[in-house]
Structure 1
Amino acid sequence: MIRGRRIGVDVGSVRIGVAVSDPDGILATPVATVPRDVTKRDELPSDLVEIARIVAEYEAVEVIVGLPVNLAGKEGPAAAAIRQYAEGLKAVVDPVPVVFTDERMSTVTATRRLSERGVRGKRQRAVVDQAAATEILQTWLDSQRRRT
């Protein structure tokens, strides 16, 4: 694994959670929750612009996007929507590669961890997307380290 920061992205229908790793790929930390821009205009959606800005700001070497697969490991309509979103993301972060990782249970795990820390209700909704992105990225980083 080449040295450099990775950006983790949890794409939701309302919000997008964003996390970043340290340059050595050991620890993922939350960065932002970006509102999803679903307006149909000719210009680039504001969420893609913001994620591209974050990728540039952190000089990321890779973007890791959580791909929702069902418990049987199959992709459904949600995964197809994420793949479509990632196509737009690839265009705005090029030449930084965008890769997918299995995000099964990331939001459930993030919600549970936040609850264990006493973060509930509106406060939890505000940060659960960031926490899910952090979970996605940390799981990916851990799996990359196990491979080497």
Structure 2
Amino acid sequence: MSGFRPGVRLGIDVGTARVGVARCDRDGLLATPVETVPRASGDPVARVVEIARELEVVEIVVGLPISLAGRETASTADARDFARGVAAASALPVRLLDERLTTVTANDALRRSGRSQRGSRSIVDQVAAVVLLQQALDVEKRTGLPAGQPVLPEE
């Protein structure tokens, strides 16, 4: 595990209706679900920042939804805006990580566990955040470098 920076991290899956939040342990061994934050009620950026403070995180990884063809979409711009908002409100390092197929992987895992897609809506974003964060942890352990691109609040 040389080169791995210890500390709790958050993984964030930004959806149009909900934001999935996951966390890892201090040693980065395992990502686990935390919460699904509705986008329509309140301020989801403020809630993510509050969770980060409660868990004393050292970094936040936000999924960047890029199309399978490698193009940016309206969802990509939304995730970038959300990440900039979190960076500005938290003063924590925030990184964007390509999240292609994380929601597909999350839905597949839930289906294999016997949950219907309709019954999984409330947690699929959390599971996608877990998949995203676990990918980031695995990349850092393998390469010794943080995964993704840093976000600057004023970008």
Secondary structure of the equivalent of 2:63? strand
Deviation at 1:13, TM superposition (A): 0.6
Q: 2-side partners of 1:27 and 1:109: how far apart?
A: 17
Residue 6 of structure 1 is matched in structure 2 by 9
- Does 1:56 pair with 2:53? yes
Q: Match for 1:37: what amino acid? A: A
Residue 32 of structure 2 is matched in structure 1 by 29
Q: 1-side partners of 2:37 and 2:98: how far apart?
A: 21
Deviation at 1:82, TM superposition (A): 1.1
TM-score (norm 1): 0.89
Structure 2 vs 1, CA of residues 75 and 121 (structure 1 numbering), >3 Å: closer, same or farther?
closer
Within the candidate set 111, 114, 123, 1:127 is matched to 123
Residue 89 of structure 1 is matched in structure 2 by 86
Q: 2-side partners of 1:82 and 1:22: how far apart?
A: 24
> Please, which runs of 5 or more residues in structure 2 have no aligned partner?
145-155
Q: Which moved more, 1:131-140 or 1:83-92?
A: 83-92
Q: Match for 2:9: what amino acid? A: R
Deviation at 1:72, TM superposition (A): 3.1
> How many residues in Structure 1 have an aligned counterpart in Structure 2?
141
Deviation at 1:2, TM superposition (A): 1.8
Q: Which moved more, 1:20-29 or 1:72-81?
A: 72-81
Q: Which moved more, 1:78-87 or 1:136-145?
A: 78-87
RMSD over equivalenced CA pairs, Å: 1.4
Q: Match for 2:137: what amino acid? A: L
Deviations 1:23-81 (A, max 9, x none): 0111100000000037xxxxxx5211211111001100000000011223332332112
